[in-house]
Amino acid sequence: MRNGMDERAFKGVWWWGYLHQNGTVQLKRWFGDPKDYTEDCAGNDFVQRVVEPFECDTHEGAYAILKERLGVHEESGK
């Protein structure tokens, strides 16, 4: 068990992310600590919206999923 979750849930590559206040999408690898996307983001003015962990094999695929879940089509600030 890892943080109360079955180890089988962590066989693939996991990601989480957030929408930064400047409009950029921030994609992060997730290694099983719920604090990454909960406590560490709470009260952080830079974090506008958080997407909880999801599984995806590639960085490009994860980035596309994150943007879709955030409802972001184009990033600002770039």
Q: What are 32-63's pLDDT values in tens digits?
A: 999 999 999 999 999 999 999 999 999 999 99
Q: Ramachandran region of residue 41, left (φ > 0), alpha (ψ -120 to 50) or beta?
A: alpha
Structure-token match 């590559």, residue found:
13
Q: Among candidates 34, 31, 28, which has minimal Cα distance to 4?
A: 34
Which amino acid is residue 55, in one-letter code? E
* Residue 15 scores a pLDDT above 90: yes
pTM: 0.80
Query: Which range, of 9-13, 44-48, 68-72, averages the lowest pLDDT?
Result: 9-13
Q: Are 30 and 55 in contact (CB under 8 A)?
A: no
| Tokens found for residue 63 | 């980035």
Which amino acid is residue 59, in one-letter code? H
* Residue 78 scores a pLDDT above 80: no
